[in-house]
Amino acid sequence: MSYFKKNIIYNLFSVRCEKLAPTPSPSPTAAEITKRKIIKWLFFNILFALIPLIYRIIRLCLFNSCANPLNLLYQQGELLLLSTAVFAEAIGELTNTEPRNKNGALILMGISFLAIILNTNMFLDLKNFKNVNLVAIWSIVIYATSIFVGLTSKIIGKD
């Protein structure tokens, strides 16, 4: 085979291989990575954690009469337990990596630690509370706070 034929075959083969080779995708930015992390966290850690409570409300409302289904969310302290888990996860997120904002991370860890102590105390004394509305308000407020702290820890924590 002549040099000319070998060169043509080589050039045709290399062009076909270049067409088949995957083009490298651009690496995602830090904002995209954080956005993905937050979406996964909201879906798996928050939404999935609420499934047993939602199932309990649906089941009790179908088979029993439920005048106020939201009372079922905080009657036995389930939201307190869920918020404690979210606060603990936020502390873990902030201590696992070098945070972008150290002062903000310290404040979030302090809030989380204090909330864990208060939640534990309230959960242990749940039966002794005479004012059910206080427990209800505290449960809802502390759960919303835990979601805020969890989201903020995802944003402050490095990827």
Residue 132 or residue 23, greater confidence? 132
Phi-psi region of 91 (alpha: psi -120 to 50; beta: other; left: phi over 0): alpha
Is the Cα dihedral 139, 118, 47, 100 positive or negative? positive
Give how far Cα 133 sits from Cα of 121, 126, 143, 158, Å. 17, 12, 15, 39
Separation between Cα atoms, residue 101 and residue 145, nearest integer Å: 19
Instruction: Taking residues 97-106, report their average pLDDT.
Output: 85
List the chain domain ranges. 31-156
Write out pLDDT tens, residues 120-148: 988 888 878 777 777 778 888 999 999 99
Residue type, 134: L
Answer whether 38's CB lies under 8 Å from 155's CB: yes
